[in-house]
Amino acid sequence: MSKETQYQARLPDANGFISYSRDEHAIWAELYSRQLVNLPGRASDAYLEGIKRLGMPSNRIPQLAEIDAVLTETTGWKTAAVPALISFANFFELLANKSFPVATFIRCREDLDYLQEPDIFHEVFGHCPLLTNPSFARFSHLYGQLGLSATKEDRVFLARLYWFTVEFGVVSSAEHDLKIYGGGILSSPAETLYVTSGKPEIRTFDLVDIMRTPYRIDIMQPIYYAINDIAALDNIGEVDIMAAIKSAKQLGLFTATYPAKSL
């Protein structure tokens, strides 16, 4: 998570207020409006319920205190203003303390369609609605606790679990059509349409398989792992995740299903 970025986080004033320009608010409004139309029929019920609970403004970047008021009341979580990129240690520590890191900058217009770094739109619009859901909140808390005590090598495997759940997770079962709960998808109009297009491979959730699946952060995902419903995240939390990491190490990684990144 620690690497160079062109973006700088906005610092709050003494009252916790973060000032944004008119153009930055306009970028939020454009991102919000164009993604909102993609959600019906594609986003999970838990996410849509979270959107309603948060009541985010559509025409301006919300203040973190507005988000915190809802999260604290529903699941005991809050946000934490952070730089554009933070260390794994800081990331895990925040989650373990029920604080969700939010980079307080918003992308520029040149990066409107894709931004590798997580900005405030990705963090707040993509992730915070699910943090009003008890199962998702418990899973995120447990993940932070596991990461704090994990070795550097084990954290690489934990990162794959986070990637295929919190970032790019989907819900699907015999009773329900494919729906999205991963924030990395829900903050991206292109990936939201792509994941429900029938083009990518949707695999049934398997903890060890996820730990063995390589991924690239700069492409549309060729593989997604589906849980039956959001409550299934509680079941994952009851499994010995560190034992799954040990099994994944012994079995080795799957062959990548995407081309190597060109230099």
Assess if residue 7 is contained within a domain.
no
177 C-beta neighbours (distance < 10 Å), count = 10
Assess if residue 204 is contained within a domain.
yes
Assess if residue 262 is contained within a domain.
no
In this prediction, residue 4 carries a pLDDT of: 61
Amino acid 127 reads H
Contact 82, 9 (CB under 8 A): yes
Structural domain that includes position 78: 22-249
Assess if residue 216 is contained within a domain.
yes
25 is catalytic: no
Contact 230, 44 (CB under 8 A): yes
Q: Which of 122, 135, 140, 191 is catalytic?
A: 122
Residues 6+ apart with CB under 8 A from 197: none
Alpha-carbon separation of residue 56 from 49, 111, 236 (angstroms)? 12, 22, 30
Assess if residue 263 is contained within a domain.
no
Which element (helix H / strand E) includes 18? none
Residues 6+ apart with CB under 8 A from 91: 1, 101, 144, 147
CATH number for the domain that contains residue 187: 1.10.800.10
In this prediction, residue 34 carries a pLDDT of: 95
Q: Which of 44, 99, 127, 135 is catalytic?
A: 127
- What's the CA gap between 64 and 130, in Å, rounded? 16
Amino acid 62 reads P
In this prediction, residue 84 carries a pLDDT of: 75
In this prediction, residue 116 carries a pLDDT of: 84
- What's the CA gap between 79 and 95, in Å, rounded? 10
In this prediction, residue 97 carries a pLDDT of: 98
Assess if residue 196 is contained within a domain.
yes
In this prediction, residue 135 carries a pLDDT of: 98
Give me the residues of the chain with pLDDT under 50, please. 1-2
Burial class (CB in 10 A: 0-12, 13-18, 19+), 163: buried
In this prediction, residue 1 carries a pLDDT of: 45
Amino acid 254 reads F
* 195-244 per-position pLDDT tens digit: 999 999 999 999 999 999 999 999 999 999 999 999 999 999 999 999 99
Q: Which of 167, 172, 188, 191 is catalytic?
A: 167
167 is catalytic: yes
In this prediction, residue 83 carries a pLDDT of: 84
127 is catalytic: yes
Assess if residue 3 is contained within a domain.
no
* 177-191 per-position pLDDT tens digit: 899 999 999 999 999
Q: How many domains does the chain have?
A: 1
pTM over 0.85: yes
